[in-house]
Amino acid sequence: MAELKVIVFQLKDEEYAIPVQQVRSIEKIQHITRVPRVPKYVKGVINLRGVVTPIIDLRMRFGLEEAAFSDHTRVIIVAFDDIEVGLIVDAANDVVDISTEAIEPPPEVVDATTADYINGVVKIGKRLFILLNLEKVLKTEKG
């Protein structure tokens, strides 16, 4: 049975998951330099230990309402292909092992905007994790 280690983070009321292989680090929120004339959800760039890294507000990326940063707000630095960006999330909760067999296709009721960015869902006990399709999040043309 194949196991998949995922990082679980919170966005609004839902819990999302990204495979650990795609996660570089989790950072606290720090000064973000705004970059002009880019899609709204690109908050800007930060100095990540000497590397200028773009930051995406995942709430805005998914069309959710904006929220003020709190003590729990985190930036998850993810890497896909040669792209490295930070994702702003409400909180980074957990590292969880899930079995690949437990992954179910996304339920059809999930609202249309987010549906594209989902690889599937996993139910463990009472918790439901939404598996993020990072490639879609980073590469599809921004709405």
Partner 1 sequence: MDMSQYLEVFIDESKEHLQTINEQLLELEKNPDDVSIVNEIFRSAHTLKGMSATMGFEDLANLTHQLENVLDGIRNGKIAVTPELLDVIFRAVDDLEAMVVSIAEGGDGKRDVTEVVAQLKQIEKGEVVVTPQKSHSTYEQTYDEFEYTILKQSAEQGFHSYEVTIKLRSDCLLKAARVFMIFEVIEQIGEVIKSVPTVEMLESEQFDDQFVVTVVTKVSQDELQKRIMKVSEVEEVRVQSVDLHRSNLPVEQKEEPKEEQKEETKTVEQTVEKKQEAQEEKQTGKQVSNKTIRVNIERLDVLMNLFEELVIDRGRLEQISRELNNPELHETVERMSRISGDLQNIILNMRMVPVETVFNRFPRMVRQLARDLGKKINLEIIGAETELDRTVIDEIGDPLVHLLRNAIDHGIETPDVRRAKGKPEEGTVKLKAYHSGNHVFIEIEDDGAGISREKVLKKAISKGIVSEQNAANLTDKQVYELIFASGFSTADKVSDISGRGVGLDVVKSTIESLGGSVSIDSEEGVGSVFSIQLPLTLSIISVMLVEIQKEKYAIPLSSIIETAIVKKEDILHAHNQKVIDFRGKVVPLLFLKDIFEVPVIKEEDDFLSVVIVRKGEKMAGLVVDSFIGQQEVVLKSLGNYLTSVFAISGATILGDGQVALIIDCNALIK
Q: Among residues 89 and 121, whose Cβ is nearest to partner 1?
A: 89
Q: Binding of partner 1 at residue 47 (CB under 8 A)?
A: yes
Residues 7, 18: Cα–Cα separation, whole Å:
5
How far is the CA of 77 from the CAs of 112, 127, 134, 138, 141, in angstroms?
A: 26, 24, 12, 12, 20
Q: How far is the CB of 82 from partner 1 (least distance, A)?
A: 5
Dihedral pair phi/psi, residue 15, rounded to 5°: -105, 130
User: How many residues does this entry show for the chain?
Assistant: 143
- Minimum CB separation of residue 33 from partner 1 in Å reads 4
Q: How far is the CB of 20 from partner 1 (least distance, A)?
A: 21
Looking at 2, 3, 49, 68, which residue binds partner 1 (CB under 8 A)?
Answer: 49
- 27 belongs to the binding site for partner 1 (CB under 8 A): no
Indicate which single residue of 12, 25, 28, 33 sits in contact with partner 1 (rule: CB under 8 A).
Answer: 33
Return the half-sphere exposure (C-beta side, CA atoms, 13 A cut-off) of residue 62: 23
